[in-house]
Amino acid sequence: MKREFITNSPEETIAFAECLGKLLHAGDIIAYRGDLGAGKTTFTRGLALGLGLQDLVTSPTFMLVHVYGNPPLQLCHFDMYRIENTEELETTGFYDYLPEESIFAIEWSENIETALPDNTIWLTLEILGEEQRRIILELKSEAKGSERFANFRA
């Protein structure tokens, strides 16, 4: 499944991500692709809202991971910018959070692509203009739960 959307402001991206966040379950992995400033952290802010988390989402660049909320549902927001291979992944805490109580949102997932499972939800952000972004949502149609997104409207 592959779907494309356009947003025309950060607020629109947040609103879009909030709608998507409402559909997410523990075990879901959002893997971002997109350049510096494309809107990955902004998008995650919306995801948190959709999950009912009130915390202000900030970039996890220096901490590698920020965790919002608590089990049974927490949002683990990773930044893999500095991670060069899957061995280094061990140091990020990636394997320490239980999928059955976590949703993962991963910036710079390009760097750890081979470590990501088949049910990964790929979220590409493309910069089209100063305030315009293309959002591409992709997942394997045979992935469990993919039907949730088939009629998704933000």
Ligand X SMILES: Nc1ncnc2c1ncn2[C@@H]1O[C@H](COP(=O)(O)OP(=O)(O)OP(=O)(O)O)[C@@H](O)[C@H]1O
Which residues are at the interface with ligand X (CB under 6 A)?
7, 9-10, 12-13, 34, 36-42, 59, 107, 131-133
Interaction partner, residue 109 (Mg ion, ligand X, none; CB < 5-8 Å by kind): none
Residue number, 11 or 147, with CB nearest to Mg ion:
11
Residue number, 59 or 86, with CB nearest to Mg ion:
59
Interaction partner, residue 58 (ligand X, Mg ion, none; CB < 5-8 Å by kind): none
Contact 29, 94 (CB under 8 A): no
Q: Please, what is the minimum distance in Å from the beta carbon of residue 90 to Mg ion?
A: 22
The pair of three-digit structure tokens given for residue 115, joined into one six-digit string: 């470590």
Residue number, 81 or 152, with CB nearest to Mg ion:
81
- Bridge partners, residue 74, by sequence: 69, 102
The pair of three-digit structure tokens given for residue 12, joined into one six-digit string: 């629109």
Residue number, 13 or 41, with CB nearest to Mg ion:
41
Where along the sequence are the contacts to Mg ion (CB under 5 A)?
40-41, 59, 107
Helix (H, G, I), strand (E, B) or coil at 128: coil
Q: Please, what is the minimum distance in Å from the beta carbon of residue 71 to ligand X?
A: 26
Q: Is 14 left (phi over 0), alpha (psi -120 to 50) or beta?
A: alpha
CB count in 10 Å sphere of residue 65: 17
Whose CA is closest to 40, among 113, 110, 95, 92? Answer: 110
Q: Please, what is the minimum distance in Å from the beta carbon of residue 26 to ligand X?
A: 23
Taking the C-alpha atoms of residue 103 and residue 24, their distance in angstroms, rounded to an integer, is 8
Give residue number: closest CB to Mg ion.
Answer: 41
